[in-house]
Amino acid sequence: MILVVGGAGYIGSHMLKLLRDQQEPHVVFDSLENGHRTALQSSLFVQGDLRNPDDLKRAFDAYPEIDLVMHFAAYISVGESVREPGKYYNNNTAGVLNLLEEMKSRGIGKFVFSSTAAVFGNPQYVPLDEVHPKGPLNPYGHSKLMVEQMLDDYDVAHSFKSVCLRYFNAAGADPDGVLGEDHEPEEHLIPVALLAALGRRPTMKVFGTDYDTPDGTCVRDYIHVLDLAQAHLLAVRHLRAGGDSRKYNLGNGEGFSVKQVLETTEKVIGREVPKEYGPRRPGDSPKLIADSSRIRQDWGWQPAYPDLEQIIDHAWKWRLAHLEGFGD
Q: Which of 75, 88, 140, 211 is catalytic?
A: 140
Binding flag, residue 188, ligand UFG (CB under 6 A): yes
Whether the Cβ atoms of residue 20 and residue 41 lie closer than 8 Å to each other: yes
Q: Which is nearer to ligand UFG, 137 or 234 (CB)?
A: 137
**At closest approach, how far in Å is the CB of 163 from ligand UFG?**
17
Q: Which is nearer to ligand UFG, 179 or 189 (CB)?
A: 189
Q: How far apart are CA 221 and CA 290, in angstroms?
A: 7
**At closest approach, how far in Å is the CB of 213 from ligand UFG?**
10
Binding flag, residue 218, ligand UFG (CB under 6 A): yes
Could you confirm whether 125 is annotated as catalytic? no
Candidates 215, 208, 205; CA nearest to 281 is: 208
Binding flag, residue 206, ligand UFG (CB under 6 A): yes
What's the one-letter identity of residue 282?
A: P
**At closest approach, how far in Å is the CB of 90 from ligand UFG?**
17
How many residues line the site for ligand UFG (CB under 6 A)? 21
The region of 55-63, 186-194, 294-302, 311-319 touching ligand UFG under the rule CB under 6 A is: 186-194
Binding flag, residue 169, ligand UFG (CB under 6 A): yes
Burial class (CB in 10 A: 0-12, 13-18, 19+), 130: middle
Within a 13 Å sphere around the CA of 246, how many CA atoms are in the beta-carbon half? 21
Residue 177, φ and ψ in degrees, nearest 5: 85, 5
The residue whose Cβ lies closest to ligand UFG is 218
Q: Which is nearer to ligand UFG, 106 or 205 (CB)?
A: 205
What's the one-letter identity of residue 270?
A: G
Q: How far apart are CA 13 and CA 273, in angstroms?
A: 28
Q: Which is nearer to ligand UFG, 96 or 118 (CB)?
A: 118
Whether the Cβ atoms of residue 262 and residue 209 lie closer than 8 Å to each other: no
Q: How far apart are CA 137 and CA 104, in angstroms?
A: 31
Helices (H) and strands (E) in the chain, counts: 11, 14
Cross-strand partners of 47: 30
The region of 12-20, 80-88, 200-208, 238-246 touching ligand UFG under the rule CB under 6 A is: 200-208
Q: Which is nearer to ligand UFG, 48 or 283 (CB)?
A: 283
Look at strands 68-71 and 44-47 and give their pairing: unpaired
Binding flag, residue 132, ligand UFG (CB under 6 A): no
Query: Who's near 199: CB < 8 A, 6+ residues apart?
Result: none
Contact string (CB under 6 A) for ligand UFG, positions 136-155, x = contact: --------------------
Cross-strand partners of 290: 128
Q: How far apart are CA 232 and CA 168, in angstroms?
A: 14
Binding residue for ligand UFG (CB under 6 A) from 92, 116, 249, 264? Answer: 116
Binding residue for ligand UFG (CB under 6 A) from 14, 36, 220, 232? Answer: 220
**At closest approach, how far in Å is the CB of 183 from ligand UFG?**
9
Binding flag, residue 75, ligand UFG (CB under 6 A): no
Catalytically active residues, by annotation: 140
Q: Footprint of ligand UFG on this chain (CB under 6 A)?
A: 76, 78, 116-118, 168-169, 187-189, 192, 204-207, 218, 220, 258, 281, 284, 288
